[in-house]
Amino acid sequence: MLRYWFRGVDRFAPWIDKVHLVTCGQIPEWLNLDAPRLHFVRHSDFIPAEFLPTFKSSAIQMNLHRIEGLSEHFVLFDDDMFLIDKVRPESFFRNGLPCDKAALNTLSPKQYIMHRMVNNLIVINNSFDKHKILRNHFRKWFSLQTGTELLRTLLLLPWRAFTGLYDPHLSQAFLKSTFEEIWQKHEDVMLRTMASRFRCITDVSIWLFRYWQLAKGDFTPFNVEKDGVFFQISDSILNKIVKTIEHQKKRIVCLNDGEVSSFDSAKERINTAFQKILPEKSSFEI
């Protein structure tokens, strides 16, 4: 399915100057390493050697600012996020700032990895005053772009500290300087996460960097879900996923791993849907 991500970039986002593909060294057999817009990046190219090998995404992502040639303004796509219709730069950055939706939330622990969200909030609450942030950036936090999540923000105003932040599971716009600032101010937290090669109870995640941007007001209010949609793949929702892709009902789709009765059948249906809208090879393919 990765090739359809590259086809999506070619067709729907030709304005993107450079694609940094990060892997631990695996090279898809169809990938054109000489593609002008491709920068193939191995973990060893930007992660300090003493922390390799690493087997957790948080350790990889928190070092992205070290990638040679990475722009101050960049968009992070995980490997389950795809472009399925035309997007403009204004979908990710406006007025030099990342487009994002700021909304308060509460943590509802259901998974063991939720400890990372708690750790993220500890850093944010120790670094910022919630009510001062909301006052200083009132127009951003209480923008109509927030949509229905605005009500949740209003209801959570009485709490002195952040109890959680709304997380749209979609591609995310970042400032490289945000990474540099957090590393400078919270190197101990960063190194603690880097120290373990597998997920650990003391880890923070990439969401910390997004939360930091929201807390500083380094964002432009934008309802990101107008452009994107998140799916957790399952038998009951497979038809909806296929129709969303084929009819290009959104611009970006996230297909998060889930449980299906037949992996091969689900994979074939999704790939067929992508093939219908992206039948031609991209410049990134041999």
At 43-61, the pLDDT tens digits run 999 999 999 999 999 999 9
Structure tokens given for 40: 């193939």
pLDDT tens digits, one per residue of 194-242: 999 999 999 999 999 999 999 999 999 999 989 999 999 999 999 999 9
Q: For residues 163 and 105, is the Cβ–Cβ distance under 8 A?
A: yes
What is residue 116's three-state secondary structure?
A: helix
CA–CA distance from 146 to each of 87, 150, 166, 228 (Å)?
20, 6, 10, 14
Which one, of 210, 133, 142, lies nearest residue 174 by Cα?
210
pTM over 0.85: yes
**pLDDT surpassing 70 at residue 111:** no
Tokens of 109: 């622990």
Q: Look at residue 82 and tell me whether its pLDDT is greater than 70.
A: yes
CB 175 within 8 A of CB 72: yes
Query: What length does the chain have?
Result: 286
Contacts of 279 by beta carbon, 8 Å cutoff, 6+ apart = none
Bridge partners (DSSP) listed for residue 23: 42
Task: Say what the pLDDT of residue 96 is.
Answer: 96
The counts of H helices and E strands in the chain are 12, 10
- Is there a contact between 122 and 207 (Cβ–Cβ < 8 Å)? no
The two tokens of residue 14 are 């030709």
